[in-house]
Chains A and B, each alone.
Chain A
Amino acid sequence: MLNSSLLWKVWLRIDNSTDEVNQPIAVQFDEIDTVDDLKSRFFQKLSSTRWREINDNASIAIGLYAPKLENQPDNTSSNNNSSSVLKKNNSAGGTGNFSINSSSNKSSTSSTAGILGLPKDFTKDRNVLQHPKPTQKRGGLYDAFAVSPTVATPMNVDFLPSEAPLLSPQRPYSTSPKQLPSTAKSPLLRFASVSPYPKFHPDNQIMASTGLTYVSPHNKNKYTRSLIRKGLNYTTESLNECTYKIIFEPDELVINIYKELFGTMGSQSASQPLLIFSNVNLRQDVPTLDILNVVDYVPTNEEISQQKIQSTEHEAFGIFDLHDQVSSREQSSKPASDDKTDLKDKLDSNPQEFKLITDEEQLRRASQELKDEEKDTESPWQAILLLPKGYKRGVGFQNKPVLCTDSSPINDNSVIPSELEMNSDSPLQQLGPLDESGIGVIQPISEEQRRKDNATPSSPILTNSQTPHYSNSLYNAPFTVSSPPDPLPNLFTTTSEKVFPKINVLIVEDNVINQAILGSFLRKHKISYKLAKNGQEAVNIWKEGGLHLIFMDLQLPVLSGIEAAKQIRDFEKQNGIGIQKTPNNSHYNFEKSASKRFSQAPVIIVALTASNSQMDKRKALLSGCNDYLTKPVNLHWLSKKITEWGCMQALIDFDSWKQGESRMTDSVLVKSPQKPITSPNSIPFKQATPSTPNKNSPVRKNSTLSPTQIEF
């Protein structure tokens, strides 16, 4: 067998009492690993899942379900079950032939004691005991576990299951696309019919013939039993009349359990997982659906092809076989005796539900297999689910995660993608924040380049505009004093000789009278300004750039002043505006400060609070306003304020202040060809600007005013 050269692993699955489907998970283990170690490994595997967070080593147990034997003296159940024996010969995994007997007796009394009746009845026909040597008893135990909730499996135990195969109420899987367990024939197997996972794998059916010696747990109490041969330590816990739970002791060697249950290494398939029982109290909280998604294990192509080689009868995984489910559901209501062979065929032909297909070749093969199979096995329900490349999440199928992992006994050389890796592939994360290059964050390179340019004898300010990285159009656009109703048309006229281009103010005010008053005031002081009627307009105009100061009324239609201020501050933050990247460019060096064009300063926002409410003022300051004025604005006071703020801006950003140019967001506009953030209005605005730098422009000559020359 290939298995010998591969890592040891055991399939585990979280048992839960809900309808949710769990995915078996392969966990590697070493020769010396105990059950406790296995738990730890399992936790490692599930790290970063919610399940992990609500469970710890002490709250979980590893075990399986086993049916009670019929002959139990204590058995009081009166259910009569037809007995069915299912037997499969399978060569997959090289485990040899196993036959499974799921037996239910019409009457509990009719079955022979101790034998489960099944092996006896059917072994003759079915080669029940052909399992390779070490596995004889494991079959029984495995059956118990694999079929556990549903079927009283034939176990060669001293005691027969008290009840015929009953389904464990704990596992009512209802919508699983999975194949039915072979036990589906029993009419009582309601759960089995809908189980998401095949309870039996034809490959790995283990004969429940001999080996288990545990005493039937008719008591509700736990008993510690030993398997006869291996002396496995486990406890049993009666769950209901027909099943009980076997829990392995923490210090039991995994390898022993494995050998006992499945035989040689690699014999276990994914459909025969050991169950992880979590604390009963927690059980209903376990979000198994989420955790045990396919993300935990995605087989590689190599694995898949290996599996193909190994188990020739495996169907393509990733192909949903509804047929199995449906048919087994149907069959579950039939008397077992009627269609034993049918069921067996089904199991033989459809041992797997899913296959991961990652390239065209595989797809072609898979669909061919599907076609072939449809002819053979009248299973029209299969489908190929096409997923986007890189899709690693579970596939929603009837609300269940369905990308099934292979049950191949080999493998585990594969790299199992971590949850983190999964997440990084998530399409959501690809929608990052705004592309910074798209909105023109200043590049550091330009600094040096610009300094070189500054070395020319002419005015450093003028040469600034030669920076190759930036269009100069806006820098050459002089700010002129504009008339209140329509400042924009005048903005770029060349009649700017007598203009004080100092600062550019935005008045955000919905009341035309207040607009007029403030506008008139600013005009009188020869301060250029723009008007915005509401917060949204304010943000849009601000994005066009060039503003030094914003007078922001707070209670505005459409977008409040508070919100507008927040948006502006957020935007500044996103673009690194106001972050001093070049601290050496301090204000005392005016020659160098020319470079500050590229160190953007935040706009000053002064809130105009109509009320005296402290709340409004606090909100204003919290939203990012630098100061507030209480309306009605004292114009005398306002003029002082404007001088103050204007000088402040001059200190912060002397160069652009000096030139009366827009600095921060203008460069944004210029640099970003697509202007993703600017309003459509800004387009004509920008196009109207002169496109060629002109060193001899009178504006430039005029723009060498010192801060003290500013008039207010």
Chain B
Amino acid sequence: MSTIPSEIINWTILNEIISMDDDDSDFSKGLIIQFIDQAQTTFAQMQRQLDGEKNLTELDNLGHFLKGSSAALGLQRIAWVCERIQNLGRKLEHFFPNKIELVNTLSDKSITNGINIDEDDEEITIQADDKDNDSIYLILIAKALNQSRLEFKLARIELSKYYNTNL
């Protein structure tokens, strides 16, 4: 497992997108807004999987899906967490760091000031069961999902700053 990037946004990547704003001034902003919507939808789908079907493959696909768009926009911490979800869904990884550790990796921890980092957490209700191989991964994915919500919130704050608007 790679380490989570310390920067929320990879500006090299996002600037490439923004550079295309020449023809279409709101192009990049439109993409960000689209992404915010997409991320929320995907989080909800992941939560439904955790609460209901508990289908690891589906969680893998959802993680992959959101990873693609977040990485394309340079939202690298979200992408990193999504990759963890993807790998947990494939049972390629067996661990997910605690939230506090991950928050501590932020280069600018001040961004977390004023927000409750546990605010959006869903309670993890999955019971670990030795007989059920999947449950440990479901628990870890639930943990990662909470992390991704936090990262999403942080990214929103960053992007809102950049676009000088409340995204």
* Interface residues of A, Cβ cutoff 8 Å to B: 509-514, 516-517, 520-521, 523-524, 553, 555, 557, 610-611, 631-636
Contact = CB atoms under 8 A, between A and B. Distances in A.
Contacts of B65: 510-511
B65 to A, nearest CB: 6
Contacts of B73: 513, 517, 632
Contact of A514 (B13, B27, B30, B68): B68
Contact of B34 (A512, A553, A555, A557): A512
B83 A516 contact: no
A193 B108 CA distance: 95
A632 B38 contact: no
A520 B16 contact: no
Interface stretch (B17-25, B93-101, B121-129): B17-25
A511 B63 CA distance: 12
B43 interface: no
B68 A610 contact: yes
B27 to A, nearest CB: 6
Interface in B51-93: 61, 64-65, 67-69, 71-74, 79, 83, 86
Contact of A632 (B13, B30, B31, B34): B13
Closest 3 CB pairs between A and B?
A513-B69, A632-B71, A632-B72
6 contacts: A512-B69, A513-B31, A516-B34, A517-B17, A517-B72, A632-B73
Nearest to B27: A520
Contacts of B79: 632
Given A514-B72, A632-B72, 8 more contacts: A511-B65, A511-B69, A513-B31, A513-B38, A516-B30, A516-B31, A524-B20, A635-B17
Given A631-B71, A632-B71, A512 B38 contact: yes
A520 B24 contact: yes
Contact of A553 (B27, B68, B86): B68
A559 to B, nearest CB: 13
B71 A520 contact: no
Contact of A524 (B23, B67, B72): B23
Given A521-B20, A524-B20, A524-B23, A631 B68 contact: yes
Nearest to A557: B61
Contacts of A553: 68
A523 to B, nearest CB: 8
Interface residues of B, number: 26
Contact of A610 (B13, B24, B64): B64
A69 to B, nearest CB: 70
B71 A610 contact: yes
Contacts of A636: 16
Contact of A555 (B10, B20, B64): B64
A632 B64 contact: no
Nearest to B20: A520
A512 B31 CA distance: 9
A610 to B, nearest CB: 5
Contacts of A633: 72
Contacts of B71: 610, 631-632
Contacts of A524: 20, 23
A513 B23 CA distance: 18
A180 B122 CA distance: 81
B60 to A, nearest CB: 8
Contacts of A520: 20, 24, 27
A631 B34 CA distance: 19
Nearest to A523: B23
A172 B158 CA distance: 87
A653 to B, nearest CB: 30
Contacts of A523: 23
A514 B74 CA distance: 12
Interface in B20-42: 20, 23-24, 27, 30-31, 34-35, 38
A696 B113 CA distance: 69
A510 B64 CA distance: 11
A409 to B, nearest CB: 70
A610 B10 CA distance: 16
Nearest to A612: B2
B37 to A, nearest CB: 10
Nearest to A509: B68
Given A517-B17, A555-B61, A557-B61, A631 B72 contact: yes
Contacts of A510: 65, 68
A510 B38 CA distance: 12
Contacts of A611: 83, 86
Contacts of B35: 513
A524 B18 CA distance: 13
A517 B35 CA distance: 12
A514 to B, nearest CB: 5
B40 to A, nearest CB: 13
B72 A513 contact: yes
B38 to A, nearest CB: 6
Task: Output the residue of B13, B17, B65, B69 with the most chain A CB within 10 A.
Answer: B69
B73 to A, nearest CB: 7
B72 to A, nearest CB: 4
B34 A513 contact: yes
Nearest to A610: B68
A514 B86 CA distance: 18
Contact of A635 (B16, B24, B31, B38): B16
B39 to A, nearest CB: 10
A631 to B, nearest CB: 6
Contacts of B30: 516
Nearest to B60: A555
Task: Output the residue of A511, A512, A514, A632 with the most chain B CB within 10 A.
Answer: A632
B16 A634 contact: yes
Given A524-B23, A555-B64, A514 B69 contact: yes
Task: Output the residue of B65, B69, B71, B72 with the most chain A CB within 10 A.
Answer: B72
Contact of B68 (A511, A516, A634): A511
Contacts of B20: 520-521, 524
A557 B86 CA distance: 15
A54 B69 CA distance: 62
A523 B31 CA distance: 16
A528 to B, nearest CB: 16
Contacts of B61: 555, 557
